[in-house]
Amino acid sequence: MKNLFRSVALVAVVFLGVQHVNAQQKIGHVNADEIFQLTPEFKTANDQLRTLNETKTKELQGMYEEFQKKQSDANEKYRSRSEANKETIDAELQVLGQELQNIEQRIQEVQRVAQEDLQKKQQELLTPIQTKVLNAINSVAKEKGYAYVLDTSAGNVIYFQGGEDISMDVRSKLGISADAQPVTPAVPAAGQPQQ
């Protein structure tokens, strides 16, 4: 009986101790995407990505223009086709048709390579910034004694009330002014060139 009493008392002490520890855990939240977009490094990377995207878009536009010109030439030749020049025009149309197919294949290849280049450049430029922001969040959380920090920008937090918003502390740690506004990304997340 005495052992049973000790066991119940031990369970009660452990249970109350766990409840006490849980009650003291601090929870904070932060909008990591916003802070990420406020960093000076992001603005620089964004400018580089915008320039690369514009360069790739211009290259593709030149190819589209070449394709449209050849297509227009083919249509003009087809309209001028008669019984007298049928064989000559048909041969020219066949050559133009092959050129159009070649240009179309080149356009598709350039689009694919452009997307890959943009994605690689995004990864190269943005990964170090993400690491820097995450390290700053972790540092603030440790300094302020938070057990959990939720990222409200991730979309996984459906509801939160309470806790502390540590965004300004993280901004301060990264040297971002309180009135700074996020920059709109130059390239969509998927890394596809803007049309």
Q: CA 144, CA 161: separation in Å to the nearest integer?
A: 19
* 163 in Cβ contact with 29 (< 8 Å): yes
pLDDT per residue as tens, the chain (195 positions) = 444 444 444 444 444 444 444 557 888 889 999 999 999 999 999 999 999 999 999 999 999 999 999 899 888 888 888 888 888 888 888 988 999 999 999 999 999 999 999 999 999 999 999 999 999 999 999 999 988 888 888 777 656 666 777 888 888 888 888 787 777 777 655 443 343
5 inside domain: no
* Domain extent for 130: 25-174
Q: Is residue 101 part of a domain?
A: yes
Per the domain annotation, does 184 fall within a domain?
A: no
User: CB-based contacts of 78: which residues, under 8 Å, 6+ apart?
Assistant: 89, 93
Identify whether 16 is part of a domain.
no
Position 11 in a domain = no
Residue 110 lies inside a defined structural domain of this protein: yes
Size (the chain), residues: 195
Distance of CA 107 to the CA centre of its chain: 24
> Domain for residue 90, yes or no?
yes
Within a domain: 63: yes
Instruction: Pull the structure tokens for residue 70.
Output: 């050849």
C-alpha span between 20 and 14 (Å, rounded): 10
pTM, 2 dp = 0.67
Q: What is the pLDDT of residue 10?
A: 44
- The number of domains in the chain is 1
Residue located via tokens 């694919």: 112
pLDDT at 114: 94
